[in-house]
Every structure is written in structure tokens, then in C-alpha cells.
Amino acid sequence: MAFRNDEELERYLNNMVEDDDSETEPLEAEEASENEDNVSVHSEQDDIISGSDEDDVPLSQLRGSVLKGKNGHVWSTSAPSSSRTPQRNIVTIQRSSQVASLLILK
């Protein structure tokens, strides 16, 4: 699934979190009824994760430089750097046999 921008990806992730929360609510009620003997105080403030302006990093930067395909193949998002000149761009001058023999005689 390709996302066009960060907002679309963020909306998708928020929907996934909301779906997960709705599925876990019945389980939490069952656990509470089973563990009535063990009483513990739990505040909602512990669940809230504090954020700052520094945490507002675009999602495109968090994705990294590697993509993974459906079959598990790993793709790089950046092209490999070429450190040598391709052979088709190298010009070679071949000397004739007379010039080579003159150079040897000198």
C-alpha cells in the first residue's frame, strides 16, 4: 500500500490504533473481573505519553532508507554511488605496430 503523503499515512495509523483500542476494551473488563482480589491504583496520566515540538518529525524521515517488498526482498530508496567511470566513456588510443617498434628501439 503506497501512501501519497504523511497525512494519509498518519490517518491510517490513527485508524489502526483506534481499532486496536476497541478490540481490547472487552478483554480489559474480563481481566478486571478475574482479578478482583488484586486491587491496584492506576492513573490515566501514566498512559499519556508526553510529547514535545522536537517529536514532530515528518513520517517520511522515519521510514528510513530501505523498503521491504511483499516477498521479503529489500530495496534501497537511494541509488548506489558510482565511484568509477563506465567503460563506454573511456577513450583508448591504440598505436600501430610501427610506432611501437620505434619506441622499443629507442
Length of the chain: 106
* Domain assignment present for 25: yes
Q: What angle do CA 11, 16, 14 make, to 5 degrees?
A: 35
Tell whether 23 is covered by a domain. Answer: yes
> What is the pLDDT confidence band of residue 71, given thresholds at 50, 70 and 90?
very high
Give, for 1, the enclosing helix (H) or strand (E).
none
The answer to whether position 2 is within a domain reads: yes
pTM of the predicted model, to two decimals?
Answer: 0.22
Residue 49 C-beta-side C-alpha neighbours within 13 Å:
2
What range defines the domain where residue 29 resides? 1-35
Residue 54's pLDDT band (boundaries 50, 70, 90)? low
Cell reading at 106: 629507442
Within-domain flag for 105:
no
The structural domain count of the chain equals 1
Beta carbons of 77 and 67 less than 8 angstroms apart? yes
Mean pLDDT, range 33-55, rounded to an integer: 56
